[in-house]
Chain A
Amino acid sequence: MIEKNYDVVVVGGGPAGSMAARAAAHAGSTVALFEKDREIGIPVRCAEGVGAKALGSLLEIRPEWISQRISGVRFIAPSGQSVDMANDEIGFILNRKIFDADLAKFAGDSGAHIFTKTYVEGLFFQDGHVAGVRINHLGHRMTVEAKIVIGADGVESRVGRWAGLHTQTPIHDMESCAQVTAGNLEIEPSLITFYFSHEIAPGGYLWIFPKGPDIANIGLGVSGEYSREHKPVELLQNFVHRHFPRAVWLSTVFGGVPCSKPLESLVADGLLLAGDAAHQTNPLTGGGIISGMLSGKLAGETAVKAIRTGDLGRHFLQEYERQWQPEAEKQEKFYKIKEFVFNLRDKDFDQIAAAVLSLPAEKRTLVNIFRKALIKKPSLIFDILKLFT
């Protein structure tokens, strides 16, 4: 049964929403999480890659979450030249269907009420403050009051905009993605592979993230700058047919990643945003699982503090923005690196790859790649300087 009012209402049952609900319930608030889809964790619009250390810093890792351990990275330049990199961190390819469901269950275990098939249609306000949500639960329309609403509604977020925040993603910053989980592949399961080339993924890259000995997520992202002429669905079909003609297509998904600068504001009176809804992804890699989890947790904790003090206004909630500030600064840096990398031409990538290959494998770190890039294209120094100014 959905109650008439809660301390905290969370919109969206992805990693950000579940972590927010868990944190708020754990700290003693009454919490409802509303997810529009019929099942938490499905569909999986994600390549499922995370760093082991980062995940372990947030939760005790369960073996059921892990499809594949990753110990190395391979880059393929436009020429086809392949460069293996020294790995500085172990990674996992998750099974997000199980992982997301577990995160929601943890929230439930802490006392949060989880409702699927519940679409949040809008917010309602009292004295200018967000005071709750209007929902459609299995065809029944109702309103639910909340002291604080946390918008964790993903790339398709509308919650922030209903409260007057500017969360539209600039079109050139949206990566338009297509992915297939395919079987019957000849791959090296412990390596993730990235292809950079204008022909394969303009303004983005293609990834192969293994989920087992012969199965992988193969996907690509195309910047909105190019996605009118170059549709991800066709680029993906072309690539897979050319490189893996015997692939068995098990599941196809589409999606978007907001690869933008940090949002100016993450809070309004009675409202916090977390995860993709707050554009908290790494704009270079598109990764957003870990940052969504962390921001969800911080948002949930701040909500409870605000309720305790009785101050639900945006000035108090800005505490969450202050806590997020170090991450926002990182995001700003990665945005500059993204602009630099995605402005390289195929010829530049080929030259850099050739130069890096002259290094022994254990010396191939990102810093050395930048060094080699500089020697090959000295004008890059200006782009790189911009990163640090």
Chain B
Amino acid sequence: MTIPYYRQSQCDFCGTCVGVCPENAIELAETTLVILEDLCTACMNCVIICPTAALEERDDRKEL
């Protein structure tokens, strides 16, 4: 199980991912976003909802 991959340059800090995270595992400040690894269950809700595709399901087979 791996937490989503996050691309800061694509992120707008809009908080939509935080609203759908069942574990309250995303910490979003003005221009920083951190996924709290201890809490994340890799459900991928945040990946699905992100309007900009800043989050991506990690595929260990390929280099991102």
Contact = CB atoms under 8 A, between A and B. Distances in A.
A158 B18 contact: yes
Residue with the greatest number of chain A CB neighbours at <10 A, chosen from B21, B48, B53: B48
Nearest to A252: B12
B51 A169 contact: no
Interface string B15-27: 1101111101000
Interface string A248-263: 0000011110100000
A233 B51 contact: yes
Nearest to B32: A119
A231 B54 CA distance: 11
B44 to A, nearest CB: 8
B30 A38 contact: yes
Contacts of B28: 156
A287 to B, nearest CB: 17
B15 A154 contact: yes
A230 to B, nearest CB: 10
Nearest to A35: B30
A177 B24 CA distance: 21
Given A156-B28, A176-B16, A254 B21 contact: no
Contact of B14 (A161, A168, A228, A253): A253
Contacts of B18: 155-158
Given A168-B20, A168-B22, A231 B52 contact: yes
A174 interface: yes
A174 B17 CA distance: 10
Contacts of A177: 16, 51
B12 A174 contact: no
A159 B47 CA distance: 22
Interface string A217-253: 0000010100110011100000000000000000001
Contacts of A154: 15
B1 interface: no
Contacts of A45: 14
Given A38-B30, A178-B51, A233-B52, A256 B12 contact: no
B49 interface: yes
Contact of A155 (B15, B29, B45): B15
Contacts of A117: 30
Nearest to B44: A228
Nearest to B16: A256
Nearest to B24: A161
A168 B22 CA distance: 6
Interface string A77-89: 0000000000000
Contact of B50 (A162, A170, A176, A258): A176
A244 B47 CA distance: 30
A171 interface: yes
B24 to A, nearest CB: 5
Nearest to B23: A168
Nearest to A222: B51
A36 B13 CA distance: 12
Nearest to B45: A171
A255 B52 contact: no
Contacts of B22: 168
A227 B50 CA distance: 8
A37 interface: yes
B49 A227 contact: yes
A176 B17 CA distance: 9
B16 A233 contact: no
A174 B14 contact: no
Contact of B30 (A37, A157, A233, A258): A37
A228 B56 CA distance: 10
Given A156-B19, A178-B52, 7 more contacts: A37-B30, A117-B30, A119-B29, A155-B15, A168-B19, A253-B14, A256-B15
Please provide the 9 A-B residue pairs with the shortest distance between their CB atoms, ordered closest to farther: A156-B15, A256-B16, A156-B18, A232-B51, A254-B12, A254-B51, A228-B48, A176-B51, A254-B14
Interface of A: 36-38, 45, 117, 119, 136, 154-158, 161-162, 168-171, 174, 176-178, 222, 224, 227-228, 231-233, 253-256, 258
